[in-house]
Structure 1
Amino acid sequence: MVVRLLLFLFAVSCTCLLNVARAADENDFYRLETIVASPAATESRSKTWRPAPDGLAMEVSGIAVLDDKRVAVAIRKGEVWILGGVYDDPPENVTYKRFASALHEPLGLLKLGDSLYTTQRSELTRLRDSDGDEVADEYLTVAKGWGVTGHYHEYAYGPKLDGDGNLWVTLNIGLGLKGKQLQRTVHEPTLNLRQGRWRGWGMKIGSDGELIPICAGMRSPSGLGANAEGDMFYTDQQGNWVATNSLHHMREGVFFHHAEALASMNLPGSPISGIEKIPNGVPFPEAVRLLPQLQPPAVWFPYKKAGQSTTDIMLDDSDGKFGPFAGQLFIGEFTQAAMTRVFLEKVDGEYQGACFPFRYGFASAVLRMAQGTDGSMFVGLTNRGWSSLGTASYGLQRLIWTGHTPFEIKEMRARPDGFELLFTKPVDRETAANVASYALKSYTYLYHSTYGSDEIQNKNLTIPAATVSDDGLRVHLQVDGLRELFVHELTAKGIRSADGKPLLHPEAYYTLNRIPKK
């Protein structure tokens, strides 16, 4: 009897200790509400199962938030639906109204004036309801003229608006096409180029519908969007010429990494010219030196550590309604059914910054995101038959800030002698000043024509000092051995908040393209 009592007391004490020591969970700060989701093919039901009517496959490929507490969603089969009741908590009485149909793989949706705009495979289209019955009766071509060869990978994405009100689209490269040749400088003598017109380019739309080519070198630019300053960015996905997922600042005349986009370099209107040789099989910093037109991404997303297939870009412009990250970018993640967060800064006039894990556990691959009128985030899901984590094949979810602030690294800024970290809550001064609380290393990637790249030229870095600000919100890390054009991977597992909590996500990945001079 005594032994049983002792065992019982031991079990109770262990349970109490586990409850006290329980690490914070993402759900404590950002909870998911399922609006509609189908079960995955291998499951008949799941806790996220909430079917659409009449077997509608809600494979969301675009989201536009409307002003009347509804959202419009484009779906892969070529339709646009208006959903009501989506802000209800829980959303028990969602309504569905088909607005448009017979579209060709729309991969974006934008509300502008009295119309919805979507990019189909071969054109940018304006959808308008002229008689007020909530069904589009005008399908108007806004812009067209990019090439379509019939290759299944020739996706077209958008539109999105920049800060000046211009419409932008991005165009996927066609994979495995062969044609004219461009000389390489390493290993292989020529590069075969055969692409449809402007494939792998970012395009701006003129007021008269003119296609204006801006920048080139994209592989699979699934996400695009503006930051708080109104500058346009796109995400790319790992593949040939693309070492790992990346975020790029789109501006005129810039070449990024996918060499086959240069098939359109000599077309009328191209702002890029004179590229005759492409480095191949060299470290990325060396490639930048050899090819002056090649511009590094603002942010690299280290493979698997920060996603495997980046998608949409969403700016948090809710002024705090979505938590402590106002003004930052959120990036969708396909394979891991997740989302990352990006902080950007300008150094010597160019963007660079850090990415952080943000939220896992979506019901399927995250393809599209849009911020609701209340600051919450609508998340469009579809795994498109490809592999992704999650309990559903497709659907629409809503991510809601609970009002509780997580202990996170909010910003990571470059300094001439290291980095400055800004936290969402004051830190425990003892752990934050202890250099053993941090680990830092740097690495880069190969620039080459084959698929992806391992991390190369790895180097562990020394942190001689960590200085905590008077308010406890900032820590200055002095770092020996900073390297330009390298990713600097920080882990801060030893640090605690002033109330003794560990970081919700202790990892940060800073792409240090330039070391500040002051």
Structure 2
Amino acid sequence: MVKQIYSVVLTFFLVSLVVPMSLVEADDESDYYRIISVATSQTNTDSRAANWRPGDDGPALEVSGIAPYDDDRIAVAIRKGEVWILGGVYDDPPTQVTYHRFASALHEPLGLLRRGGSFLTVQRSELTRLRDTVGDDVADEYLTVAKGWGVTGHYHEYAYGPKVDGDGNLWLTLNIGLGLKGDLLKRTRQSSLGYRQGLWRGWGMKVSEAGDLIPVCAGMRSPSGMGANADGDMFYTDQQGNWVAAGALHHMREGAFFHHPESLASMDAQGSTIHDVKEVPNGLALPEALKRFPQMKPPAVWFPYKKMGQSTTDIMLDASDGKFGPFAGQLFVGEFTQAGINRVFLEKVDGEYQGACFPFRSGMASAVLRLMQGRDGSVFVGLTNRGWSSLGTASYGLQRLVWTGKTPFEIQAMRVKPDGFELTFTRPVDPKSASDPASYQLQRYTYNYHSTYGSDEIQQHGLTVRSAQVQADGVTVRLVVDGLKQYFVHELNASAVLDRTRQQLLHPHAYYTLNRLPKR
């Protein structure tokens, strides 16, 4: 008996040395951001809708676009070709959601924008304006705004948008076709480099007031998400695949090439902004490939595979001025396979965007394809897994993410300095843990640029944190770090940092993509 008591006491003592009794574990994500299911493939919904049949449970909300009204309604596009107006979506719980069909017979609309009293959506072959001219909330005009990109009939030739930038310009993005064969090749064009795709496939485009397509940038594989940042610059996300090492966020601007060389099939077309590409390097580490391929621009942010998701989607700016928590002005990015949402802090160094991504909220009911901020700051999340694999219990639906008013302990921002990083936290830090260099673990790695699907993390190297100094404001910590390197992801683990109540970080990991090192 004495031996048993001694054993228990000794075990408790040893555990106490590793985990201090005063340490408070981090809360759950749901303590800060609640998920409200408006309608999913597993929920019954109200049946008050246009042309409704008794027994229907609601439309199959494979949400492919979301747009707000000025009142309590929203509009959603669904992948199978309709636009619906939904009421009661702000109720908590939403027990009386109503549905009204606004438009139908569209060809895979993959975006929705409300502008000037009408809706804009990109169908597979055109940008379309949907107008209600008689005031009954049913579109009676379907007007072509812009068209002219190539459509061979390949299943992978998705077209996304529109989104609007800070100057009011409309943008859209175009998937490439994968493995085009047989008759489909007859509908393509071939560049001097031998690549073949439909016209402007893999390009980002603007649309002029007159409806003209304006090619801007190229190198896209599957650019399913777009969005402008607080400065009005436009970004898109790409998904891992051949030539694309991992999920990525890119700044769209004239003349930029990103990853995928098959988009260069349109390099010689009239209006192209990409010129003089003589060869595409294959099988090099990204920093070396960028030297050999001057037209290619690195991502603003990499999303390391599985650590930060597997399929990046929509981009949403938190423009709520604090109604959605302590991340105003930052970007939120949807994640398809892992059914979640990630967060991005961006900064501009020497004219180049770069920054860090952080986990934010997991546990959505299905693959996250679209994000829209509501009038109260909450975020509507459009779901559809389209038969592809994703986490979650539903195949499609609409959910709403609401801030509870509690501030999570998070790394709010991660800024690069000439000799390290500056971290800003959402709550005052515990001076002892935050000033200990051992509380921060850093490593760097980059990727291969090659025609193979994805890339392992290569040239991995652990970094030494020389010092950690808590600043006078109590929420900022200055790290001096050896070995920062251009075009590398710098992965941070700050799990040992506590706040002043001895609570752990909700998400201790951050991933900073370094494209430019500041001089001072």
- The two structures share one fold, judged by TM-score above 0.5: yes
From 223, 248, 251, the equivalent of 2:250 is 248
Q: Which amino acid aligns with 1:455?
A: E
Q: In 2, distance between residues paired with 1:89 and 1:258?
A: 44
Q: In 1, distance between residues paired with 2:500 and 2:351?
A: 36
Q: Structure 2 vs 1, CA of residues 37 and 18 (structure 1 numbering), >3 Å: closer, same or farther? A: farther
From 377, 380, 400, the equivalent of 1:378 is 380
Q: Which amino acid aligns with 2:305?
A: Y
Q: 1:177 offset after TM fit, Å? A: 2.4
CA contact (8 A) 1:34 1:397 kept: yes
After TM superposition, list the pairs within 5 Å mapping 1:170-181 onto structure 2: 170-177=173-180
Q: In 2, distance between residues paired with 1:453 and 1:384?
A: 25
Which secondary structure state, in structure 1, belongs to the residue aligned with residue 464 of structure 2?
strand
Paired position in structure 2 for 1:414: 416
Q: Structure 2 vs 1, CA of residues 458 and 52 (structure 1 numbering), >3 Å: closer, same or farther? A: farther
CA contact (8 A) 1:37 1:52 kept: no
Identity of aligned residues (%): 71
Q: Which amino acid aligns with 1:487?
A: V
Q: Structure 2 vs 1, CA of residues 402 and 243 (structure 1 numbering), >3 Å: closer, same or farther? A: same
Which secondary structure state, in structure 2, belongs to the residue aligned with residue 392 of structure 1?
coil
Q: Structure 2 vs 1, CA of residues 383 and 18 (structure 1 numbering), >3 Å: closer, same or farther? A: farther
Q: Which amino acid aligns with 2:142?
A: Y
CA contact (8 A) 2:46 2:98 kept: no
Per-residue CA deviations over 1:64-107 (Å, capped at 9, x if unaligned) read 01111100000011000000000001101001000000000000
Which secondary structure state, in structure 1, belongs to the residue aligned with residue 91 of structure 2?
coil
Give the alignment's TM-score, normalised by structure 2.
Answer: 0.92
From 153, 157, 160, the equivalent of 1:157 is 160
Find out whether 1:168 has 2:168 as its counterpart. Answer: no
CA contact (8 A) 1:204 1:213 kept: yes
Q: 1:182 offset after TM fit, Å? A: 7.0
Q: In 2, distance between residues paired with 1:436 and 1:75?
A: 50
Q: Which amino acid aligns with 1:339?
A: I
Q: 1:471 offset after TM fit, Å? A: 1.7
Find out whether 1:424 has 2:426 as its counterpart. Answer: yes
From 73, 77, 87, the equivalent of 2:90 is 87
After TM superposition, list the pairs within 5 Å mapping 1:134-213 onto structure 2: 134-177=137-180, 192-213=194-215
CA contact (8 A) 1:109 1:117 kept: yes
Paired position in structure 1 for 2:265: 263
Q: 1:445 offset after TM fit, Å? A: 0.3
CA contact (8 A) 1:422 1:473 kept: yes
CA contact (8 A) 1:38 1:51 kept: no
Q: Structure 2 vs 1, CA of residues 444 and 320 (structure 1 numbering), >3 Å: closer, same or farther? A: same
Q: In 1, distance between residues paired with 2:118 and 2:270?
A: 31
Q: Which amino acid aligns with 1:374?
A: D
Q: 1:294 offset after TM fit, Å? A: 0.6
From 305, 308, 326, the equivalent of 1:306 is 308
From 334, 337, 348, the equivalent of 1:335 is 337
Paired position in structure 1 for 2:466: 464
CA contact (8 A) 1:182 1:277 kept: no
Give the alignment's TM-score, normalised by structure 1.
Answer: 0.92
Paired position in structure 1 for 2:406: 404
Q: 1:193 offset after TM fit, Å? A: 1.4
Find out whether 1:357 has 2:344 as its counterpart. Answer: no
Q: Structure 2 vs 1, CA of residues 19 and 459 (structure 1 numbering), >3 Å: closer, same or farther? A: closer
Q: Structure 2 vs 1, CA of residues 50 and 502 (structure 1 numbering), >3 Å: closer, same or farther? A: farther
CA contact (8 A) 1:201 1:261 kept: yes
Q: Structure 2 vs 1, CA of residues 20 and 285 (structure 1 numbering), >3 Å: closer, same or farther? A: closer
Which secondary structure state, in structure 2, belongs to the residue aligned with residue 118 of structure 1?
strand
Q: In 2, distance between residues paired with 1:398 and 1:118?
A: 22
Q: 1:207 offset after TM fit, Å? A: 0.6
From 114, 128, 135, the equivalent of 1:132 is 135
CA contact (8 A) 2:308 2:358 kept: yes
After TM superposition, list the pairs within 5 Å mapping 1:87-126 onto structure 2: 87-126=90-129
Paired position in structure 1 for 2:286: 284
5+ unaligned residues in a row in structure 2: which ranges?
Answer: 1-19, 48-55
CA contact (8 A) 1:446 1:456 kept: yes
CA contact (8 A) 1:35 1:50 kept: no
Which secondary structure state, in structure 2, belongs to the residue aligned with residue 268 of structure 1?
coil
Q: In 2, distance between residues paired with 1:181 and 1:135?
A: 43
Paired position in structure 2 for 1:62: 65
Q: In 1, distance between residues paired with 2:63 and 2:431?
A: 46
Which secondary structure state, in structure 2, belongs to the residue aligned with residue 263 of structure 1?
helix
Q: Which amino acid aligns with 1:58?
A: L
Paired position in structure 2 for 1:6: none
Q: 1:499 offset after TM fit, Å? A: 1.2
Which secondary structure state, in structure 1, belongs to the residue aligned with residue 223 of structure 2?
coil
Q: 1:267 offset after TM fit, Å? A: 0.4
Q: Which amino acid aligns with 2:195?
A: L
Q: In 2, distance between residues paired with 1:19 and 1:73?
A: 48
Which secondary structure state, in structure 2, belongs to the residue aligned with residue 403 of structure 1?
coil
From 502, 505, 512, the equivalent of 1:503 is 505
Q: In 1, distance between residues paired with 2:195 and 2:274?
A: 16
Would you identify which runs of 4 or more consecutive aligned residues in structure 1 move more than 6 Å?
Answer: 17-20, 178-183
Per-residue CA deviations over 1:86-138 (Å, capped at 9, x if unaligned) read 00011010010000000000000001011011000000000010000110001
Per-residue CA deviations over 1:18-57 (Å, capped at 9, x if unaligned) read 9994530100000000000013xxxxxxxxx344642421
Paired position in structure 1 for 2:4: none
Q: In 2, distance between residues paired with 1:30 and 1:241?
A: 36
Q: Structure 2 vs 1, CA of residues 144 and 181 (structure 1 numbering), >3 Å: closer, same or farther? A: closer
Q: In 2, distance between residues paired with 1:52 and 1:123?
A: 33
Q: CA RMSD in A?
A: 1.6
Which secondary structure state, in structure 1, belongs to the residue aligned with residue 30 of structure 2?
helix
Q: In 1, distance between residues paired with 2:114 and 2:326?
A: 27
Paired position in structure 2 for 1:10: none
CA contact (8 A) 1:182 1:276 kept: no
Q: In 1, distance between residues paired with 2:399 and 2:69?
A: 16
Per-residue CA deviations over 1:198-233 (Å, capped at 9, x if unaligned) read 000000000100000000000000000100000000
Q: 1:470 offset after TM fit, Å? A: 1.1
Paired position in structure 2 for 1:186: none
Q: Structure 2 vs 1, CA of residues 22 and 467 (structure 1 numbering), >3 Å: closer, same or farther? A: closer
Q: 1:192 offset after TM fit, Å? A: 4.7
Q: Which amino acid aligns with 2:260?
A: H
Paired position in structure 2 for 1:325: 327
Per-residue CA deviations over 1:357-376 (Å, capped at 9, x if unaligned) read 00000000000000000000
Find out whether 1:448 has 2:455 as its counterpart. Answer: no
CA contact (8 A) 1:34 1:50 kept: no
From 493, 508, 519, the equivalent of 1:491 is 493
Q: In 2, distance between residues paired with 1:462 and 1:326?
A: 32
Q: Which amino acid aligns with 1:123?
A: E
